Amino acid sequence: MRGRALDDALAEAAPAANAPLAAAQRDIAYSACRRLDLLDHLAGALLRKPNRALDALARVALSELIDHPERAHTIVDQAVQAMARDGGSALRGVLNAILRRFIREREALLAAALAIEPIRLGYPDWWIARVRAAWPDLAEDVLAAGNARAPMTVRTNRRRTTADEYARALDAAGIAAAAAAPGALTLARPCPVARLPGFEAGLVSVQDLGAQLAAPLLEAGAGMRVLDACAAPGGKTAHLLESADCAVTAIDRDAARLAAVAANLGRLGLEARLVCADAGDVASWWDGQPFDRILLDAPCTASGVIRRHPDGKWLKRAGDLTPLCAEQARLLDGVWRVLRPGGKLLYATCSIFPDENQRQAARFLNLHPDALPLPIDLGFAHGAAGPLLHRDGQLLPCARHDGFYYALFQKA
């Protein structure tokens, strides 16, 4: 509510040594963020005047009451205790009263709030309008998927195990999973990574199925020089190295995030050249040797992975698109210069907005006559659970995967 990224705040709030507590805090906070507009409406109806001391706690308690009416007594009791611990003992009675009123008038209060379309859909007006304009026949499904809990999919490290072997290891550990695509397994229920067999030994990584498509689409081969621009946190970097004996240069402008790439590669037993630099400022880091393959996973609104970052719906503004699109264009134009003739560049975002995707690709092709668009074939990823939900390189969020966009170009 103060404008900070939720994950950053949670990382400070939750003791790292207490995984169950951290998971519980995350679940409560994420649930509240998914429906923050509904909670704002309810708080406005129940509080006679805004009260900053009550703001966050009242919304969290209301969110839990919506999800768990069977636990109403416990939720109210613990919320009132929390109010007292936070130095608001004088407000205990106020919080108790509004929560008990919600319990009494639950149906009427929720019906009135959900009659307002943006609250029913759970997004700001501008977000809803953009999704409807882009995907008119699928808009409500796409919006609903963004409010659902995300699946947990793992990618097996083909240098250390196979999907079949790892499926047996999961079964032995009492973790139910099903094949999602070659090398990928989706867990029936998410679990802490510490429970995954061989996680610390580098047998497996957690990565959404949609993100796992990047490395196969790029088709990096043995001996190739590969650039992973904007590489952090390193999931796609690792997948490239698992897939082929190629030489990868991974760039990110954020030193802390680049350290996460190094940690991921170290756990998996992989090596890459790591460079802390602005990938678009080619002169500051390029050694003059062209690359055979380039992956540009560009900064974007993250509108396709909003269920994993529900605070993003409320932190982002419609005006954020313009500078993001300008940055994507700058990066695309910059890294294109270091691709060898005949080489391939894969442009990727985790967005569902055409301004960042199809229109960005069209702009790029218009400015670069030596760029040839290549077809995107996602047939290889159709696993036992059925086909992916995609159109023209655009994956739309659904029960199987998040939203991603891919455009593949070859230099003439």
pLDDT at res. 11: 83
Hey, is 286 helix, strand or coil? coil
pLDDT tens digits, residue range 197-239? 999 999 999 999 999 999 999 999 999 999 999 999 999 999 9
Residue 315 — pLDDT band, cuts 50, 70, 90?
A: very high
pLDDT at res. 392: 83
What is the spatial distance between Cα 16 and Cα 21, in angstroms, rounded to a whole number?
A: 9
pLDDT at res. 174: 97
Give, for 346, the enclosing helix (H) or strand (E): strand 339-349
Q: Is 289 exposed, middle or buried (0-12, 13-18, 19+ CB in 10 A)?
A: exposed
pLDDT at res. 16: 62
pLDDT at res. 20: 78
pLDDT at res. 382: 62
pLDDT tens digits, residue range 100-136? 999 999 999 999 999 999 999 999 999 999 999 999 9
% of the chain at pLDDT higher than 90: 84
Hey, is 296 helix, strand or coil? strand
- In the predicted model, what is the mean pLDDT of residues 64-90? 91
Q: Is 72 exposed, middle or buried (0-12, 13-18, 19+ CB in 10 A)?
A: middle
* Residue 131 neighbours by CB under 8 Å, 6+ apart: 123, 139, 142, 143, 352
- Nearest 5°: CA angle at 217, between 253 and 350? 50
pLDDT tens digits, residue range 9-39? 888 876 666 777 888 888 999 999 999 999 9
DSSP string, 146-176: HHSPPP-EEEE-TTT--HHHHHHHHHHTT--
pLDDT at res. 380: 66
Residues 400, 388: contact at Cβ < 8 Å?
A: yes
Cβ-based neighbour number of residue 188 at 10 Å: 12
% of the chain at pLDDT higher than 70: 97
Hey, is 102 helix, strand or coil? helix
What pTM value is reported for the model? Answer: 0.93
pLDDT at res. 146: 96
pLDDT at res. 18: 77
- In the predicted model, what is the mean pLDDT of residues 257-284? 97
The active-site residue out of 230, 300, 325, 350 is: 350
Task: Tell me the average pLDDT of the chain.
Answer: 94
pLDDT tens digits, residue range 331-350? 999 999 999 999 999 999 99
pLDDT at res. 232: 95
Strand-pair category, 177-181 with 339-349: unpaired
Structural domains in the chain plus CATH codes? 35-122 (1.10.940.10), 153-206 (3.30.70.1170), 211-411 (3.40.50.150)
Question: Picking from 14-18, 73-77, 126-130, 149-153, which range would have the lowest pLDDT averaged per residue?
Answer: 14-18
Q: Catalytic: 398?
A: no
pLDDT at res. 241: 98
For the cut 80, the answer to whether the pLDDT of residue 385 exceeds it is no
pLDDT at res. 159: 96
